[in-house]
Amino acid sequence: DSGVTQTPKHLITATGQRVTLRCSPRSGDLSVYWYQQSLDQGLQFLIQYYNGEERAKGNILERFSAQQFPDLHSELNLSSLELGDSALYFCASSAWKASGYNEQFFGPGTRLTVL
Amino acid sequence: AQKITQTQPGMFVQEKEAVTLDCTYDTSDQSYGLFWYKQPSSGEMIFLIYQGSYDEQNATEGRYSLNFQKARKSANLVISASQLGDSAMYFCAMRAWMDSSYKLIFGSGTRLLVRP
C-alpha cells in the first residue's frame, strides 16, 4: 500500500459526459501528479500540482482540468468524454527530498470506461 | 530530446533464475534520475528502485539491482532468483527537467512472465 488513495476504482460512463476523479496523497506529500495509461499511448504525464498550485503540464487535453485543494487532495475533471478517453488514470504523490530526487508513489488508479 | 526506450516487449524467465530487463535513455541533462516500476495485473504501479546520475555505485534493493552504465546511457534492471509473483509489466522511467519542473518520462514497458 503506497499511502495514495484514489476514488472511484472503476467508472463507466457515456460519451459526452463529465466525470471527476479524486486523489488523496500520502500524508505530508505536497506534490500530486496525474497520469493517463492507455493501450495506444502508454503512460503519459498529464499535470502536476504542488501545494495547491499548478507546477507542470504534460499532454493534458483542454477538456481535462485539475485542481489541488487546501487539504492537498486533488481532483481531475474530464469533460465531453470520448471513447478514446477510456484509460487507467493514476495519481501519484511525492515529497521534497534534499537529495534532489522525488520518488513518486502511485495510487491504485481509476479505470475509466467510456461507452 | 528526453526519451526512455525499452526494446523488449515481452520476456520469459524460469523460476529461480535471474533476468535482465533493458532500458536505455536519452538526455542532455547532467543531473537526472532513473526509476523502475512494477505493474502487476491488478494495475497498481509499485516503485522498485532508483539510480541517480551522480551515484557511483549501482543501486540495489533486495532481489532488484540496477546495472547503470552511464557512458552507454543504459539502466538495466536485474531481478535475481525470479519468483512467480514477479510476473508483471516493468516500466523504466527518467526524471527529467522539462518546462521548468521535474517530470517522469516512462518507457513502453516490458512484460515479464516467470515460468514455474
Q: For the segment B22-46, what is each residue's pLDDT rounded down to a tens digit? A: 999 999 888 889 999 999 998 889 9
Inter-chain CB proximity B45 and A45 less than 8 Å: no
Residues of B in Cβ contact (< 8 Å) with A107: 44
Residues of B in Cβ contact (< 8 Å) with A101: 33, 50, 52, 95
* Calpha distance B87→A43 (Å, rounded): 19
- DSSP character for A85? G
Instruction: Determine the pLDDT at residue A107.
Output: 94
Residues of A in Cβ contact (< 8 Å) with B43: 88, 108-109, 111
Inter-chain CB proximity A99 and B52 less than 8 Å: yes
For residue A1, pLDDT beyond 60: yes
Residues of B in Cβ contact (< 8 Å) with A42: 106, 108-109
Contact A78, A70 (CB under 8 A): no
For residue A96, pLDDT beyond 70: no
Mean pLDDT, range A14-23, rounded to an integer: 98
For residue B102, pLDDT beyond 90: no
Phi, psi for residue B6 in degrees, rounded to 5? -120, 115
Higher pLDDT, A56 or A70: A70
* Calpha distance B74→B4 (Å, rounded): 10
Mean pLDDT, range A22-51, rounded to an integer: 91
Range picked from A29-33, A59-63, A75-79 for highest mean pLDDT: A75-79
Instruction: Determine the pLDDT at residue B104.
Output: 85
CB of B91 within 8 Å of a chain A CB? The answer is yes
For residue A100, pLDDT beyond 70: no
Chain position carrying cell 481535462: A64
Inter-chain CB proximity B95 and A101 less than 8 Å: yes
Inter-chain CB proximity A56 and B43 less than 8 Å: no
